[in-house]
Amino acid sequence: MAQQKFLHQRPIQNPFTNPFSSSPLSTSSISNRPISLLSRNGLLLLLALLVILGVFLPWAGSPLFPSPNKLSPSQSKWRDYSLPQAVKFVAKNGTVIVCAVSYPYLPFLNNWLISVSRQKHQDQVLVIAEDYATLYKVNEKWPGHAVLIPPALDSQTAHKFGSQGFFNFTARRPQHLLEILELGYNVMYNDVDMVWLQDPFQYLEGKHDAYFMDDMTAIKPLDHSHDLPPPGKKGRTYICSCMIFLRPTNGAKLLMKKWIEELETQPWSRAKKANDQPGFNWALNKTANQVDMYLLSQAAFPTGGLYFKNKTWVKETKGKHAIIHNNYIVGFEKKIKRFRDFNLWLVDDHASESPLGKLE
Ligand SMILES: *[C@@H]1O[C@H](CO)[C@@H](O)[C@H](O)[C@H]1NC(C)=O
Ligand SMILES: *[C@@H]1O[C@H](CO)[C@@H](O)[C@H](O)[C@H]1NC(C)=O
Ligand SMILES: *[C@@H]1O[C@H](CO)[C@@H](O)[C@H](O)[C@H]1NC(C)=O
Ligand SMILES: *[C@@H]1O[C@H](CO)[C@@H](O)[C@H](O)[C@H]1NC(C)=O
């Protein structure tokens, strides 16, 4: 029953209230020290002032605090970089891999990118930056691989995690995917709290419109059906909106349009603390007769509720896992710890394998 509660909830949280400990956002430990020195003597006062200037001046021009009037030439360039330009630049074989990231989640982006690079698909990755800091940072290290689709997530909206404004913001995801399909590309969407252990493209069998994974923990036989599963207790399925592959077909476009519609007609409510996953499941339900759908194998695409909780199953299905999703857990630090415990936190020792390199 406890698992029921978390079943359909994607553990996103307000990233801005929970920055990683070494984050430049937390300056309190630095700013406290000079104040205690003030009372001693003039020399120390001067020293303190120098420390403060040294600490804060570099940030004045940082991408964290972009001032529209003082953008560097390269920053203005990325500000105007459009989705069609970006998709054209990164696509290989008519396919792009997209994720959506805000600044505090860069370590997760980097971790995911290392695993994508190991399968040689990093060149196809396009990061949809949710704020300007992310746009500039990614493009500075890896030109052309991040795009921002205005409006940006402002810190005011971000602070109100679980609010309608935040829901509206994340609800733009199917619109971005639809736009990429309309441009004629295949698109794979991934959450960045994922790690690839194998190339997922080898599992995209046939020529179906939409491919997705189940978020249910119940163990299925290895040869389970690839059809949309029957609805669960809430009258709908528990397909994860965390990993989706779409071909630029009428069926896939219809599914995205239905998803957008579902998010509009079953909007945010305080009680439900909605995210975009239930809307996706209702869209699947309502378009099942018109869209050619393919449920990916559970052994290759297990929910975190299974992979991280059943050692026996993991042993039994060894060598069959393609993408691991760190869900069924809430909290930034908890996710990192769990990745570390399972040797999936690659950024500690393998940052050089990421196209972004070591982030600091
Ligand atoms: C593109 O397709 C070719 C031929 O199918 C394949 O060999 C190659 O690995 C693909 N490239 C990428 C980046 O997927
Ligand atoms: C969110 O979207 C709904 C439906 O489009 C709209 O009525 C509402 O005003 C929006 N709320 C915020 C805070 O953006
Ligand atoms: C759609 O959901 C309804 C209500 O739960 C259910 O009766 C129906 O079988 C579902 N359709 C499909 C194709 O899953
Ligand atoms: C764990 O996996 C094993 C092997 O697949 C299965 O028999 C068992 O029922 C699972 N345990 C739970 C708690 O789901």
93 and 228 assigned to the same domain: yes
Helix (H, G, I), strand (E, B) or coil at 186: strand
Count of domains forming the chain:
2
Residue 339 lies in a domain: yes
| Residue bearing the CA closest to ligand 1, atom 5 | 93
201 and 307 assigned to the same domain: yes
Closest listed ligand to the CA of 283: 3
pLDDT-derived band at 70, boundaries 50, 70, 90: confident
123 and 207 assigned to the same domain: yes
42 and 136 assigned to the same domain: no
For a ligand 2 pocket test, name from 154, 157, 164, 167 the mutation site with the most ligand atoms within 8 angstroms of its C-beta: 164
Strands (E), 263-311: 293-295
pLDDT-derived band at 176, boundaries 50, 70, 90: very high
Per-residue pLDDT at 123: 98
Whether residue 335 has pLDDT greater than 50? yes
Query: Which range, 19-28, 179-188, 260-269, is most confident?
Result: 179-188
150 and 51 assigned to the same domain: no
45 and 131 assigned to the same domain: no
Residue 21 lies in a domain: no
Residue 46 lies in a domain: yes
Span from the CA of 199 to the centroid of ligand 1 (angstroms): 12
Span from the CA of 312 to the centroid of ligand 4 (angstroms): 6
CB of 222 within 6 A of ligand 4: the answer is no
Alpha carbon distance 319, 214 (integer Å): 19
Q: How far is CA 168 from CA 34, 120, 218, 267, 268, in A?
A: 42, 34, 32, 9, 8
Residue 16 lies in a domain: no
44 and 153 assigned to the same domain: no
Average pLDDT over residues 153-166: 67
For a ligand 2 pocket test, name from 168, 175, 265, 270 the mutation site with the most ligand atoms within 8 angstroms of its C-beta: 168
CB of 310 within 6 A of ligand 4: the answer is yes
Residue 15 lies in a domain: no
142 and 30 assigned to the same domain: no
CB of 3 within 6 A of ligand 4: the answer is no
pLDDT tens-digit map of 297-312: 999 999 999 999 999 9
- What tokens were used for 156? 């005011």
Residue 358 lies in a domain: no
97 and 136 assigned to the same domain: yes
Span from the CA of 280 to the centroid of ligand 3 (angstroms): 14
Higher-pLDDT residue of 163 and 359 is 359
Higher-pLDDT residue of 19 and 244 is 244
Question: pTM of the predicted model, to two decimals?
Answer: 0.82
pLDDT tens-digit map of 183-228: 999 999 999 999 999 999 999 999 999 999 999 999 999 999 999 9
311 touches 302 (CB < 8 A): no
pLDDT-derived band at 267, boundaries 50, 70, 90: low
Average pLDDT over residues 104-119: 97
144 and 186 assigned to the same domain: yes
Of the three residues 35, 59, 83, the one that is the final residue of a domain is: 59
Residue 2 lies in a domain: no
Span from the CA of 321 to the centroid of ligand 1 (angstroms): 21
173 and 224 assigned to the same domain: yes
Residue 6 lies in a domain: no
* CATH number of the domain that residue 234 is part of: 3.90.550.10
Give the residue from 160, 149, 155 showing the smallest Cα distance to 126.
Answer: 149
pLDDT-derived band at 44, boundaries 50, 70, 90: low
Identify the domain containing residue 228 by its residue range. 73-353
54 and 86 assigned to the same domain: no
Alpha carbon distance 227, 106 (integer Å): 35
For a ligand 1 pocket test, name from 92, 93, 203 the mutation site with the most ligand atoms within 8 angstroms of its C-beta: 93
Give the residue from 155, 180, 146, 153 showing the smallest Cα distance to 168.
Answer: 153
What is the CB < 6 Å shell around ligand 1?
A: 92-93, 124
Whether residue 245 has pLDDT greater than 80? yes
The neighbouring-strand residues paired with 146 are 127
Span from the CA of 249 to the centroid of ligand 2 (angstroms): 30
Q: Tell me the percentage of the chain whose pLDDT exceeds 70.
A: 76
Report the residue count for the chain.
360
